[in-house]
Structure 1
Amino acid sequence: MKYRSVFDIIGPVMIGPSSSHTAGAARIGRVARNLFERQPSWVNIHLYGSFAETYKGHGTDVAIIGGILDFDTFDERIKESLQLAKDNGIEVQFFTEEAIPEHPNTARIHLGDDKGEMELVGISIGGGKIEITELNGFQLKLSGHHPAILVVHNDRFGAIAKVANVLAKYEINIGHMEVSRKEKGKLALMTIEVDQNIEKYVLQELEALDCIEKVTTIVE
């Protein structure tokens, strides 16, 4: 594994006792909020492995909800996030699961409102680093540490090339890209990590492509 700075080794500035259980958990929650694009009215959080065993003592619960409230890892309001969520009308439920996950620090976040819902699985891999491994049933690998574009598209010839051509047009460099699909010929998901935040007009051009269903971004 390559580290970009000393903070990748010693962990980020954060609230709480553990970079894996607190900072990583907050980042998983914040990615969920970013992808949902608004404050949800309800959140169900399923915790696995060591997250399930120690989530209250290590502050994993307040950290995930703090992230969903769009708080950064060092935001003092994380300590009061459960009460703040309640004050904002967000119904929060936690569930501890006995199933053995592939990674010990795993959370499944299911959230929504009267307009829709979303589900993702995130893991905290240490030092505040995370990976999102599933989104609405699509398998993916998203670090949450770089700007990214998530493109839901029709699984057909030329779709990937059309998206890549738009990014090339605006000289946007791709750092990592992968495609996941549930079933051949149906919907697929492109996960594209890039080197800079994407301007709105680029997203609009991507959304206008005839093969694209939805475009979502994660900003740095």
Structure 2
Amino acid sequence: MRFKDVFSIIGPAMVGPSSSHTAGAVRIGRVARHLLGELPEQADILFYGSFADTYQGHGTDLAIIGGLLDFDTDDPRIPNSITIAEQLGMKIVFRPGKGQFPHPNTAKLIVRAGEREAIVVGASIGGGNIEVLGINDFDVKFTAMYPTLIVFHEDRPGMIAEVTRILSRDSVNIGHMSVDRRGRSGEAVTVIDVDGSITDALVEEIEQLSTVKEVRKVDLTERSGP
């Protein structure tokens, strides 16, 4: 069993009031930011379950936007995140989601910058921990607790073996893998969380594979900002 570090036991350093409604929401927002690869120009945020009922009172709206600004869970700017985002030109819409949802604390983020779009469905499962349950309409599952590679590719024989060969050569250990596809020989995504850092050179090499369309890195251990 992998040691998950003290964060998974006592929760993160954070701006309150709730690890589920704020810290977890920040992390969901950061996943969407990293998947998009830049500051969103537009953010359409759907809340489900408990999130939909209490997001304003618990600051979940502020937390999600703080994550989109790539603030960490303890960033003192989170209470002012919506103001900061709007000053940077971000257009924000909050609305309740409709239909089934996988967890009481679920959010769906649709973010855009120029012609780029990223869609993330994530659930805050307690203690600041999250599960990402969907990206760009693919069904996947990962926690973003570790550096994570997201590889969009064609569903072709040997593609995953090529990616794992590159990781093995660079002594990058795979902790978990999730794969989904849109039909046989169609579009697919492979999500790989790893032990250790993911270098830009590694991302670029995987992007050069003939069946790969795009590679994104989600690494919430990195601190940055707008």
Under a length normalisation based on structure 2, what TM-score does the superposition of the two structures give?
0.93
Check 1:7–1:116 CA distance in 2 against 1; reply closer, same or farther (3 A cut). Answer: closer
Q: Give the whole-Å Cα distance in 2 for the aligned partners of 1:131 and 1:156.
A: 27
- Equivalent residue for 2:77? 77
Work out the CA distance in 1 between the residues paired with 2:205 and 2:100: 42
Q: Could you tell me which residue of structure 2 aligns to residue 152 of structure 1? A: 152
Cα-Cα RMSD: 1.4
Quick one: distance in 1 between partners of 2:200 and 2:44? Answer: 31
2:36/2:116 contact within 8 Å kept: no
Report the number of matched residues.
Answer: 220
For 1:109, the equivalent position in structure 2 comes to: 109
Distance 1:64 1:8 in 2: 20
Q: Distance in 2 between matches of 1:98 and 1:152?
A: 28
Mapped to 1, the partners of 2:48 and 2:124 lie a distance apart of 11
SS state at 1:145 partner: coil
Q: CA deviation at 1:7?
A: 3.5
Aligned partner of 2:7 in structure 1 is 7
Tell me how far 1:2 sits from its aligned partner: 7.5
**Larger deviation, residues 45-54 vs 8-17:** 8-17
User: 1:182 is matched by which residue type in structure 2?
Assistant: R
SS for the counterpart of 2:77 is helix
Q: Which amino acid aligns with 1:197?
A: S
Segments of 5+ residues of structure 1 without an aligned counterpart are none
**CA distance in structure 2 between the aligned counterparts of 1:11 and 1:170, rounded to whole angstroms:** 32
SS of 1:76's equivalent in the other structure is coil
Whole-angstrom CA distance in 1 between matches of 2:186 and 2:145: 29
Distance 1:98 1:114 in 2: 27
Partners of 1:97 and 1:211 in 2: how far apart?
Answer: 35
* 3-state DSSP of counterpart to 1:67: helix
Q: Look up the SS of the partner of 1:16 in the other structure.
A: coil
| Greater Cα offset, 10-19 or 124-133 | 10-19
Q: Structure 2: where are the runs of 5+ without partners? A: 222-226
Q: What's the offset of the Cα at 1:100?
A: 4.1
Distance 1:2 1:204, change over 3 A: closer
CA distance in 2, matches of 1:161, 1:9: 34
Paired residues of 2:142 and 2:178 also in contact (CA < 8 A): no
CA contact 1:3–1:9 (8 Å) conserved in 2: no
Q: What is aligned with 1:26?
A: 26
Aligned mates of 2:190, 2:204 — CA distance in 1: 16
The residue number in structure 1 matching 2:182 is 182
- TM-score w.r.t. length of structure 1: 0.96
Identity %: 46
